[in-house]
Structure formats: C-alpha cells, structure tokens
RNA sequence: CGGGGCGUGGCGCAGCCAGGUAGCGCGCAUCGUUCGGGACGAUGAGGUCGGAGGUUCAAAUCCUCUCGCCCCGACCA
C-alpha cells in the first residue's frame, strides 16, 4: 500500500497557469506529471503507475493476437534510415546527432527500419510467417508545437507493433486482427474509439486507419456519416461530386468591381451567392506556384492538394511571389494563364457561369466556364468536406467531429522491404519481399484522452482498468483506533488482490476528500471515529454521489464486488468495424466542455 | 516559422505605465485550539524579480539583446 503522507508528489490547490485543457490541468494538479520543457514531462509515481496500467491493457490485447513483446533501442545509427531514404526526407522532427566517432545517429521517432531489419535477419522462410512484434518505447519527435500537456509532446511513450506477412492477402487478415485488438484495448480503457480512414501517407502506405477519442480537446477533424457507414479524417474525407450545373454557358464579360478583393465582398457587390464565384488560392510547392481554382464557398484541403501535386511541402504563396508571377492578389484569374500550374477542384468542373478575377485590379469576369475559358493541369477533389455534404456511400448529410488520434494502423506492403532488401524464401524457393504492417498507440496521449473523457469539475474519474490504485482509503483523524482500522482495512483489501492508496495525512476532512476527488481513484473508503464506532466502513464510488456505510465484516467483499462490476462494465466485446455515430455521440456527451 | 501573451519565494498573483527598503493569498515549518467537504490563532523560514548588457546617484520598473514557457496559426505516420 502507498501512504499519501509519503507519496512523492504534491497536489496543487490551484490550476497551473499554463494548462488550458482539462487533462493537462488535472494531471499536473493531481501530481501525475510535471513539465520539464516544452513537450517534455516527468511522470511522477501516480502518473507512472497509470501509464503502466494502460500499457498492461494494451499488452494483453497484443499478446492475445500472438504479437510478441520485445524492446528496440531509442538511439539508432543512421544507416538503416539512410537506406529507406528517411534520414534525408524527414524534417527537423527527426533528431540527428553524431557520436564520438562522428557517426550519424538519430533518436527513434518510430521503428519501422529497426523492426524490419530484425525481421529480415531472423526470418528466412515462409514457414516463419506471419509473425509480429511490439514494444513500448520512448519516441522523440521534435514537434514544431507541442501542446495540451500530454496531448502532443516531443518525448512520449508509444506502443508500436510491426507485422510481417508472406502476402498482401495474409496482411489483410493480420490487419483486421490488429484493428479488432485496438478497439478492444481502447474500450477496456474506457474509450469508445471511432475508427476512420486516414491518410496512408506519402511514404508508400496503401491503407491506413485512425482511432479517435471524440472530444473537443482534440486536434483532428473527423468526417462521419450518421448512419455509421462512413468515417474519415478530414485529410482524406470525400463527399459525393457536386451535381453538374447544366445552365447554358453565357458569354464571358468583364465587370468593374473596385475594391472588392474577397469572395464575400465580390459576391455581395454583385448580389450572387458565393457558390457562383471561383476562388483562387495560391500555393508554393517548393519549385513553383500552384494556382488552385475552387468554388467560392469551399475551402482547399491542403492534404488533398499535397497528394494531388505530389508535393510534400506546400505552403500558401506570399504576395510578392504572386506579383512576381504576374498575378494580381484579390483579382487573380486562371483565365489567360499559361505559365502557371493550374489545379482545378471538381466543384469548378461541375459549375457554370462563375465569377472570377480579371487579373487586373478592380475588375472581375462573369460567366467563366471551365474548360471553355481556361485550362487545367490537374482536375481533382481538393476541397474540404463540410458539415451537411452528402455521404459518399449513402448520401446522408455528413457531420464533423473533433477527435484525439489515439492510435493508427498502416499497411505498408513491400514498400520498406524493397528498400531494405527484406525477403523470405517462398514455398517455391524464390525470395519474396516481406509484407509489412505498422500499428501505433500513443500511450501517454491515450492517458490524456482518457482524462478528457473521464473527469468532472472536481477531478479525474479513472476507469477502473487504468486507475493508479484500485481503492483510496481516507482516514479521518489521527486517533489510534482510526489509524488501526484504516491500516487493517488497507491490508485486507490488498489481501483480496486490490491495490490501495491510504490517505493517512494529518489533514482536514475537506482537504482529503477534495484530493480524493482530484486523484480520481474509482472507489473511496472512509474510516473515521464515526465509522469505527459503528464497526463499519463508508464506501463511495468516484463516479456517483451516494455514500454508504457497510459493516466492517462485509466491507472488503463489497469493495471487491464493486471493483469487479466496474471492470465488467469496461467490456471489449461489442461488434467491431466502423462504429455507429451513436457511440460517438455518447462519447461526446461525457465531455463537460461541451455540456450535455 | 508567422501572430499574440507571459517570465517576481513551491503554486497562483500584485508591484512596472509615472525608477527610490520586494509585497499579497495559498502552501511549507513550529506551537496551541480544531477535526466528515479546501479550519483558526501565534511565530517563522523561503525571492541574484529568467539571463546579459546599457541608461541613471539609484532599475523588478526605462532601453537593447537574449533564453524560456503558454496560446492561435503553419507544420504533423
């Protein structure tokens, strides 16, 4: 048992000034974590115990699908990273340094290279496949902007798994197993994950899914169909193509629009809806300017544009870059442009008689029609999906949600195997590339997501599966009889298999109860002069209000039963797949920031 | 990287504009009284005011530079 009087860490009465989101605030106040630098945290005993419990849930689900735990290093020679090309292609988020012999080294930000290299060395035959490994390991990514406590850190703990299959079909089966294992793990941690399609990445992935905890504290926008048949990260989400406008194309004309430099201004000035305008957005690809033409009411989705252009590092172009290319900011038009790369969103292809800039100050063109009036180098879907757009599968109005990405899964196929020459001998005796999958769960981020979904104004409400201790024994008063009773209760609870935190501090009842609420251990037992005289123990569940006195002789059995019931409620067993949005709505209703 | 904010005992803050003995609340220590939802009284410890340089008789305060942290955006397997 741990006594609060000797716990390393102190709770804070006031919120830390720099914490804005609930999980950050409560985990610092409750002595779970302390910041060391931007995006770098120490995990105090309470926090570390919690992380280890989360790990254990994940570990059990990984073991259950036959995945084998190992441990790979944090510091790597750059060699393998050079062979896959990532030493050069990754940006400053990959920390590079030299050792004493001037060899290039990196800090692990993931372990595909290392895991696959191991597989290549250890797997020789199809008889050894499929096989999979995982570990819990520190990752370091020099993020440009850490934020939200454990939500986005530079140093973090990740459970990453790597699967090795003999064929894409075999990988498909493995992949489904892992998705199922992930959903089970998250449910056991008290999170109903929303599984959505995600960006497979510019690095050769063929298929990818993300697992989201829905809460307004998240950073990702998720597009979901209320029928549950579609869900995708906004980076890859699509909607049904717009209905073609079969209006008769009218002759193009120039109109004076002095001072009307924005879509809203032009539309207002001409008395038309923004859907009837053509918005020009300019990106710099690193080599040239890309002129993006999109319907005025839509927004450009940069992730889609990046893929369409096959340009990993696009950014909005600066005004001087536009002027240098002969474009007039506010009045730019694709009409009459030859030198510039033009990307047209499919919304423009389907529209008729749009208003576009005239490439001169103070004037616009009306009745612009594509492709009659201008050319495109690319026509693609590069628009953000908006709430209300029709589901690509069933046409139902789509909804937008905010989520924390707590896990992801990727099919890499033979992409890395080709680079690292990772092969096995097939039944026919020929070398074949190992077919790889990669699966991540951010353990520290998952802890933050759990707190976001499980807290109230008084503190954290840990799911029983991951709480740092099972039971919080609060001793009120320092009388010998009370101390002894609390001690005995704690010992009996431990003998029954529960972990116990005892608040034996000489503090007032209010301080102790408030700290108990803050720390969020699911079951609280109070021992005081009053309960000792009644030969009883008061039991209170953290997630509900009633307090109940139970006879001492029955207290332990009762606590065990309550704890078992809490664990049973965190059942992993429910249909797996793309989850219905009702569950998403339920998850959101837990979020006090949004109200209910 | 762009924009904004903030660095003053362990935590939360005031003082800065209008330079002149570094303050408040909480916490901490000791003693006493309290003792079921952040008790009360008394006494006490604890701060090179993020750092460097400058202006000045005098700098937490004014100027310059710099480091760090937070938020928004950019970015993000």
Q: Which residue is nearest to nucleotide B28 (CA to C1')?
A: A10
Among A342, A365, A339, A369, CA closest to A353: A369
CATH number at residue A166: 3.30.930.10
Residue A583: pLDDT band by 50, 70, 90 thresholds?
very low
Q: Are A333 and A280 in contact (CB under 8 A)?
A: yes
Looking at the fold, whether A548 and A523 belong to one and the same domain comes out as yes
How many whole angstroms separate alpha carbon A590 and alpha carbon A596? Answer: 8
Q: Which of A380, A413, A438 finishes a domain?
A: A380
Residue A279: pLDDT band by 50, 70, 90 thresholds?
confident
Q: Which residue is nearest to nucleotide B69 (CA to C1')?
A: A38
Looking at the fold, whether A221 and A359 belong to one and the same domain comes out as no
Q: Output the distance from A72 CA to B20 C1' rounded to whole Å.
A: 62
Looking at the fold, whether A440 and A300 belong to one and the same domain comes out as no
pLDDT tens digits along A452-492: 999 999 999 999 999 999 999 999 999 999 999 999 999 99
Q: Are A347 and A276 in contact (CB under 8 A)?
A: no
Phi/psi for A149 (5° steps) reads: 65, -120
**pLDDT (average), residues A193-215:** 82
Looking at the fold, whether A510 and A558 belong to one and the same domain comes out as yes
How many whole angstroms separate alpha carbon A372 and alpha carbon A369? Answer: 6
User: Cis peptide leading into A130, omega within 30 of 0?
Assistant: yes
CATH number at residue A320: 3.90.960.10
> Greater confidence, A86 or A320?
A86
In a domain, A265, yes or no: yes
Q: Output the distance from A62 CA to B17 C1' rounded to whole Å.
A: 62
Looking at the fold, whether A152 and A10 belong to one and the same domain comes out as yes
Instruction: Please determine, for the modelled complex, whether the ipTM score is greater than 0.85.
Output: yes
Residue A559, domain extent: 467-569
**pLDDT (average), residues A439-452:** 96
How many whole angstroms separate alpha carbon A117 and alpha carbon A111? Answer: 10
Among A431, A494, A439, A362, CA closest to A198: A439
Q: Output the distance from A110 CA to B22 C1' rounded to whole Å.
A: 50
**A219 CA: nearest nucleotide by C1':** B76
Nucleotides of B strand lying within 7 Å of any protein CB atom: 1-2, 11-13, 25-27, 34-39, 68-77
Q: Output the distance from A11 CA to B25 C1' rounded to whole Å.
A: 17
Residue A589: pLDDT band by 50, 70, 90 thresholds?
very low
Q: Output the distance from A18 CA to B69 C1' rounded to whole Å.
A: 8
In a domain, A284, yes or no: yes
Pairing of strands A536-541, A523-527: antiparallel
Looking at the fold, whether A265 and A186 belong to one and the same domain comes out as no
- In the predicted model, is pLDDT for residue A585 greater than 80? no
Burial of A470 from C-beta contacts in 10 A (0-12 / 13-18 / 19+): buried
Q: Report residue A329 as tokens.
A: 């900011």
Residue A577 neighbours by CB distance under 10 Å: 11
Output the DSSP codes for A386-446: -TTPBPTTT-PBPEEEEEEEEEEEEEEETHHHHHHT-EEE-TTS-EEEPEEEEEEEEHHHH
**A235 CA: nearest nucleotide by C1':** B76
**A36 CA: nearest nucleotide by C1':** B69
In a domain, A584, yes or no: no
Looking at the fold, whether A436 and A533 belong to one and the same domain comes out as no
How many whole angstroms separate alpha carbon A446 and alpha carbon A407? Answer: 8
Q: Which residue is nearest to nucleotide B1 (CA to C1')?
A: A144
Q: Are A152 and A139 in contact (CB under 8 A)?
A: no
Q: Output the distance from A418 CA to B27 C1' rounded to whole Å.
A: 60
pLDDT tens digits along A101-119: 999 999 999 999 999 999 9
In a domain, A305, yes or no: yes
Pairing of strands A471-475, A500-503: parallel
Q: Report residue A175 as tokens.
A: 């992949």
Partners of residue A147 on adjacent β-strands: A152
Q: Report residue A62 as tokens.
A: 């990984």
In a domain, A592, yes or no: no
> Greater confidence, A417 or A244?
A417
In a domain, A587, yes or no: no
**A528 CA: nearest nucleotide by C1':** B36
Number of domains in chain A: 3
Residue A97 neighbours by CB distance under 10 Å: 11
**pLDDT (average), residues A68-91:** 95
Q: Report residue A184 as tokens.
A: 């089970």
- In the predicted model, is pLDDT for residue A291 greater than 90? no
**A515 CA: nearest nucleotide by C1':** B38
Picking from A293-302, A303-312, A363-372, A418-427, which range would have the lowest pLDDT averaged per residue? A303-312
**pLDDT (average), residues A248-256:** 90
**A38 CA: nearest nucleotide by C1':** B69
What percent of chain A shows pLDDT beyond 90? 69
What percent of chain A shows pLDDT beyond 70? 95
**A17 CA: nearest nucleotide by C1':** B12
Looking at the fold, whether A435 and A507 belong to one and the same domain comes out as no
Looking at the fold, whether A441 and A472 belong to one and the same domain comes out as no
**A40 CA: nearest nucleotide by C1':** B69
How many whole angstroms separate alpha carbon A253 and alpha carbon A271? Answer: 16
Residue A540: pLDDT band by 50, 70, 90 thresholds?
very high
In a domain, A294, yes or no: yes
Q: Output the distance from A309 CA to B70 C1' rounded to whole Å.
A: 36
Spatial neighbors of A361 by CB under 8 A, at least 6 apart, are A328, A330, A331
pLDDT tens digits along A484-521: 999 999 999 999 999 999 999 999 999 999 999 999 99
Q: Output the distance from A514 CA to B51 C1' rounded to whole Å.
A: 39
Q: Output the distance from A512 CA to B11 C1' rounded to whole Å.
A: 18
DSSP 8-class letter at A350: T
> Greater confidence, A485 or A274?
A485
Q: Output the distance from A97 CA to B63 C1' rounded to whole Å.
A: 39
> Greater confidence, A132 or A356?
A132
Q: Output the distance from A38 CA to B58 C1' rounded to whole Å.
A: 38
Please tell me the predicted confidence (pLDDT) of residue A575: 54
Phi/psi for A155 (5° steps) reads: -100, 130
- In the predicted model, is pLDDT for residue A577 greater than 60? no
Please tell me the predicted confidence (pLDDT) of residue A517: 97
Partners of residue A505 on adjacent β-strands: none
Residue A595: pLDDT band by 50, 70, 90 thresholds?
very low
Q: Which residue is nearest to nucleotide B74 (CA to C1')?
A: A315
Looking at the fold, whether A63 and A198 belong to one and the same domain comes out as yes
**A510 CA: nearest nucleotide by C1':** B37
Q: Which of A352, A380, A408 finishes a domain?
A: A380
Residue A75 to residues A108, A122, A469: CA-CA distances in angstroms? 6, 21, 33
Q: Are A76 and A115 in contact (CB under 8 A)?
A: no
Pairing of strands A207-214, A220-224: unpaired
Residue A10 neighbours by CB distance under 10 Å: 12
**A149 CA: nearest nucleotide by C1':** B70
Please tell me the predicted confidence (pLDDT) of residue A565: 96
How many whole angstroms separate alpha carbon A42 and alpha carbon A378? Answer: 49
Average pLDDT value for chain A = 90
In a domain, A582, yes or no: no
> Greater confidence, A595 or A286?
A286
Q: Which of A347, A380, A413 finishes a domain?
A: A380
Residue A593 neighbours by CB distance under 10 Å: 11
**Taking the CA of residue A432 as centre, how many other CA atoms within 13 Å lie in the half-sphere pointing to its CB?**
19
**A412 CA: nearest nucleotide by C1':** B77
Looking at the fold, whether A7 and A65 belong to one and the same domain comes out as yes
3-class SS at A135? strand
Residue A205: pLDDT band by 50, 70, 90 thresholds?
low
Q: Which residue is nearest to nucleotide B36 (CA to C1')?
A: A509
Q: Which residue is nearest to nucleotide B70 (CA to C1')?
A: A18
Q: Output the distance from A37 CA to B53 C1' rounded to whole Å.
A: 27
How many whole angstroms separate alpha carbon A588 and alpha carbon A213? Answer: 9
CATH number at residue A485: 3.40.50.800
Q: Output the distance from A452 CA to B75 C1' rounded to whole Å.
A: 24
**pLDDT (average), residues A330-351:** 84
Picking from A6-15, A265-274, A453-462, which range would have the lowest pLDDT averaged per residue? A265-274
pLDDT tens digits along A225-248: 988 889 999 989 999 988 888 888
Q: Output the distance from A145 CA to B2 C1' rounded to whole Å.
A: 13
Q: Is A349 left (phi over 0), alpha (psi -120 to 50) or beta?
A: alpha
Looking at the fold, whether A174 and A94 belong to one and the same domain comes out as yes
Q: Which residue is nearest to nucleotide B34 (CA to C1')?
A: A508
Q: Output the distance from A129 CA to B62 C1' rounded to whole Å.
A: 73
- In the predicted model, is pLDDT for residue A329 greater than 80? no
pLDDT tens digits along A16-75: 998 999 999 999 999 999 999 999 999 999 999 999 999 999 999 999 999 999 999 999
Among A106, A109, A114, CA closest to A72: A114
**A527 CA: nearest nucleotide by C1':** B36
CA A331 to chain centre: 39
Q: Which residue is nearest to nucleotide B77 (CA to C1')?
A: A201
């Amino acid at each position: 048992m741990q006594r609060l009087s000797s716990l390393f860490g102190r709770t804070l009465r006031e919120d830390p000034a720099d914490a804005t989101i609930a999980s950050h605030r409560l985990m610092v106040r409750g002595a779970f974590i302390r910041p060391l630098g931007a995006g770098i945290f120490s995990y105090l005993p309470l926090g570390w115990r919690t992380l280890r419990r989360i790990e254990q849930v994940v570990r059990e689900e990984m073991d259950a699908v036959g995945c084998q735990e190992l441990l790979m290093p944090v510091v790597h020679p750059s060699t393998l990273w050079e062979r896959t090309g990532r030493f050069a292609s990754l940006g400053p988020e990959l920390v590079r340094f030299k050792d004493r012999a001037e060899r290039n080294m990196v800090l692990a930000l993931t372990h595909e290279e290392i895991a696959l290299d191991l597989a290549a060395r250890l797997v020789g035959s199809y008889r050894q496949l499929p096989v999979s490994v995982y570990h819990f390991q520190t990752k370091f990514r020099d993020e440009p902007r850490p934020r939200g406590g454990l939500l986005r850190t530079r140093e973090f703990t990740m459970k990453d798994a790597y699967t090795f299959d003999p064929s894409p079909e075999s990988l498909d089966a493995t992949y489904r197993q892992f998705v199922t294992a992930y959903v089970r793990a998250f449910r056991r941690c008290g999170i109903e994950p929303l599984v959505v399609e995600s960006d497979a990445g510019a690095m050769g992935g063929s298929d990818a899914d993300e697992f989201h905890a829905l809460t307004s504290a998240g950073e990702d926008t998720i597009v979901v169909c209320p029928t549950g048949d579609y869900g995708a990260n906004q980076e890859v989400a699509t909607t049904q193509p717009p209905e073609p406008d079969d209006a008769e194309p009218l002759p193009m004309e120039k109109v004076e629009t002095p001072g009307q430099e924005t879509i809203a201004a032009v539309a207002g000035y001409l008395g038309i809806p923004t859907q009837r305008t053509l918005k020009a957005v300019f990106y710099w690809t690193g080599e040239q300017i890309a002129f993006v033409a999109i319907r005025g009411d839509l927004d450009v989705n940069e992730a889609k544009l990046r893929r369409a252009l096959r340009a990993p590092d696009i950014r909005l172009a600066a005004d001087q870059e536009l002027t240098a290319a002969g474009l007039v900011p506010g009045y730019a038009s694709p009409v009459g442009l030859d030198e510039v790369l033009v990307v047209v969103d499919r919304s423009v292809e389907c529209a008729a008689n749009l208003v576009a800039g005239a490439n001169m100050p103070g004037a616009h063109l009306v009745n612009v029609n594509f492709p009659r009036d201008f050319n495109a180098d690319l026509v693609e879907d590069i628009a953000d999906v908006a709430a209300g757009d029709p589901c690509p599968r069933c046409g139902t109005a789509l909804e937008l949600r905010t989520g924390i990405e707590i896990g992801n899964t990727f099919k890499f196929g033979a992409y890395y195997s080709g680079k690292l020459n990772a092969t096995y001998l097939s039944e026919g005796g020929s070398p074949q590339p190992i077919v790889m999958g990669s699966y991540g769960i951010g353990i520290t981020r998952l802890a933050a997501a759990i707190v976001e979904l499980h807290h109230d104004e008084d503190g954290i409400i840990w799911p029983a599966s991951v709480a740092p201790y099972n039971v919080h024994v609060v001793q009120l008063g320092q009388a010998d009889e009370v101390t002894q009773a609390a001690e005995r209760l704690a010992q009996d609870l431990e003998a029954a298999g529960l972990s116990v935190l005892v608040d034996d501090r000489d503090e007032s009842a209010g301080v102790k109860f408030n700290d108990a609420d803050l720390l969020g251990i699911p079951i609280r037992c109070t021992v005081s002069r009053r309960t000792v005289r009644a030969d009883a123990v008061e039991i209170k569940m953290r997630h509900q209000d009633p307090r109940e006195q139970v006879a001492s002789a029955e207290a332990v059995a009762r606590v065990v039963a309550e704890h078992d019931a809490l664990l049973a409620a965190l059942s992993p067993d429910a249909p797996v797949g793309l989850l219905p949005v009702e569950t998403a709505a339920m998850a959101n209703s837990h979020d006090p920031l949004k109200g209910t």
